């Protein structure tokens, strides 16, 4: 692919964005079930609006998990985000729970039985991507958009920015020259704030977070840094706009710089390949790039409901690969069992590690000691280099 000059833009949203509130609540329910039973099945969606939370979906897990426990987990998730506002309050909001048992028709196709291995929970295509634009091997626009949003949230939680509210959006446009990012052409930050301050004060609070996140020398001219460009942003979160689980899938992945299969992650246990196979695809792509077998790598996995092995494993290294892509596909499948069970066991996904993924991206994060973000490990590098020595 010819290198060229262009501007590419990605956005992020904070944990207090209405859709991200819903992702957080749904993943809190996943963690609740997996904390009681590592093999529980969960598919829970959340709707949020003015002082209302509605949870709906299917589960299979311990009967000891009552609606009271589910409600408490949902309220705690909202509290942790920081919502104690008149229009949306963790303690005062009405919580409706419409959760029932998993369909027996789905269970019979997915469960292992006799000589049949556990099948995929649904059909679908999942993509993973990695590139050398950042140390996290993520596309730079989404990486820096997440960085600004997360920096603002950390300042709010620590008390360093008490006048900011939980709801925020960021957007970063980067100039690429010869296919590589070199500077920002514009930055947009919209953040909820206390009614006592004006837009100039919000800008004063926000600017240091932009400066600290972008590489030195990348800052655009002041006129192209837009902070709350519509002005006042006091009413926010689910009180300002309804939220739903799974509406920010491009924010969750690569900011539009790479394909997305269409399935959301949050609210789903790791037997759902929408989640686990997307994690596996990122894991494989990241290891390919970390092993210096390519500068960029996209991996697609395809599954059929009830079938354990992927129907196809597609690899594209965008003419930057140093090895044969067909052989690379075979080697990766030898190194990692890409059945739903194989992925879960290899990455240790049957753990309550998902609420933390619900904001600031599922990818480009540091692996954690308890198994969180295990798909960001680069422990296949040695084996990959040996295979292509």
168 known member of a binding site: yes
Contact 309, 339 (CB under 8 A): yes
Active site residue 248: yes
CB count in 10 Å sphere of residue 32: 24
346 known member of a binding site: no
The catalytically annotated residue of 156, 209, 247, 296 is: 247
The catalytically annotated residue of 15, 17, 75, 373 is: 17
The catalytically annotated residue of 8, 11, 15, 19 is: 19
The catalytically annotated residue of 8, 88, 127, 233 is: 233
272 known member of a binding site: yes
The catalytically annotated residue of 209, 248, 286, 346 is: 248
The catalytically annotated residue of 20, 193, 282, 346 is: 20
The catalytically annotated residue of 268, 282, 286, 346 is: 268
CA distances from 362 to 70, 84, 142, 212, 343 (A): 24, 27, 11, 22, 16
Active site residue 272: yes
Per-residue DSSP letter, 83: -
- Tokens coding 68: 């009271």
79 known member of a binding site: no
Active site residue 274: yes
What CA–CA distance (Å, rounded) separates 205 from 152? 9
Active site residue 241: yes
Active site residue 37: no
Active site residue 28: no
150 known member of a binding site: no
58 known member of a binding site: yes
Active site residue 330: no
344 known member of a binding site: no
Kindly give the interhelix angle for 67-81 and 18-36, rounded to the nearest 10 degrees: 130
248 known member of a binding site: yes
CA distances from 192 to 14, 157, 356 (A): 10, 14, 22
CB count in 10 Å sphere of residue 5: 11
17 known member of a binding site: yes
- Strand order of the β-sheet with 124-131 is 124-131, 296-303, 312-316
Active site residue 180: no
* Sign of the Cα pseudo-torsion (106, 111, 116, 118, in order): positive
322 known member of a binding site: no
The catalytically annotated residue of 36, 37, 58, 377 is: 58
The catalytically annotated residue of 27, 45, 118, 239 is: 45
Phi, psi of 53 (to 5 degrees): -130, 130
247 known member of a binding site: yes
Q: What is the largest CA-CA distance in the chain?
A: 67
102 known member of a binding site: yes
Kindly give the interhelix angle for 140-158 and 199-213, rounded to the nearest 10 degrees: 120
The catalytically annotated residue of 23, 31, 269, 274 is: 274
The catalytically annotated residue of 24, 272, 286, 346 is: 272
Active site residue 80: no
Kindly give the interhelix angle for 340-347 and 273-290, rounded to the nearest 10 degrees: 60
CB count in 10 Å sphere of residue 345: 12
The catalytically annotated residue of 24, 60, 156, 169 is: 169
**Sequence-separated (6 or more) residues with CB below 8 Å from residue 66:** none
What CA–CA distance (Å, rounded) separates 207 from 141? 17
- Tokens coding 323: 């090895």
Binding annotation for ATP: 17, 167-169, 232-233, 241, 247-248, 264, 268
Binding annotation: 17, 19, 45, 58, 102, 167-169, 232-233, 241, 247-248, 264, 268, 272
Binding annotation for L-methionine: 58, 102, 241, 272
Which residues are catalytic, by number? 17, 19-20, 45, 58, 169, 233, 241-242, 247-248, 268, 272, 274
Binding annotation for Mg(2+): 19
Binding annotation for K(+): 45
């Amino acid at each position: 692919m010819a290198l060229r000059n262009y501007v590419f833009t990605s956005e992020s949203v904070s944990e207090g964005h209405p859709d991200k509130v819903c992702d957080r609540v749904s993943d809190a329910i996943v963690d609740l079930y997996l904390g009681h039973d590592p093999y529980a099945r969960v598919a829970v969606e959340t709707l949020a609006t003015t002082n209302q939370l509605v949870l709906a979906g299917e589960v299979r897990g311990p009967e000891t998990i009552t609606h009271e426990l589910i409600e408490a987990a949902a309220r705690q998730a909202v509290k942790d985000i920081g919502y104690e506002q008149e229009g949306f309050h963790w303690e005062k909001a009405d919580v409706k729970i419409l959760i029932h048992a998993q369909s027996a028709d789905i269970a019979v196709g997915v469960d292992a039985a006799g000589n049949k291995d556990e099948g995929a929970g649904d059909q679908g295509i999942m993509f993973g991507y990695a590139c050398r634009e950042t140390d996290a091997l993520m596309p730079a626009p989404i990486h820096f958009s997440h960085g600004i949003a997360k920096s603002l949230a950390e300042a709010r939680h620590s008390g360093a920015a008490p006048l900011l509210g939980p709801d925020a959006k960021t957007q970063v446009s980067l100039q690429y020259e010869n296919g590589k990012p070199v500077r920002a052409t514009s930055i947009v930050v919209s953040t909820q704030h206390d009614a006592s301050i004006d837009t100039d004060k919000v800008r004063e609070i926000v600017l240091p977070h932009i400066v600290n996140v972008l590489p030195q020398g990348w800052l655009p001219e002041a006129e192209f840094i837009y902070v709350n460009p519509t002005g006042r942003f006091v009413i926010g979160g689910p009180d300002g706009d309804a939220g739903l689980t799974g509406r920010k899938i491009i924010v969750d992945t690569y900011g539009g710089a790479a394909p997305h299969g269409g399935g959301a992650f949050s609210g789903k246990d790791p037997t759902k390949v929408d989640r686990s196979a997307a994690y596996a695809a990122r894991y494989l792509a990241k290891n390919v790039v970390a092993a210096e077998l390519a500068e960029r790598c996209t991996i697609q996995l395809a599954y059929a409901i009830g079938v354990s092995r992927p129907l196809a494993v597609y690899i594209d290294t965008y003419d930057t690969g140093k090895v044969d892509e067909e052989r690379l596909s075979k080697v990766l499948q030898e190194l990692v069992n890409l059945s739903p069970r194989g992925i879960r066991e290899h990455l240790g996904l049957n753990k309550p590690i998902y609420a933390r993924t619900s904001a600031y991206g599922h990818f480009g994060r540091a692996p954690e000691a308890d198994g969180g973000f295990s798909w960001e490990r680069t422990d296949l590098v040695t084996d990959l280099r040996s295979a292509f020595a």
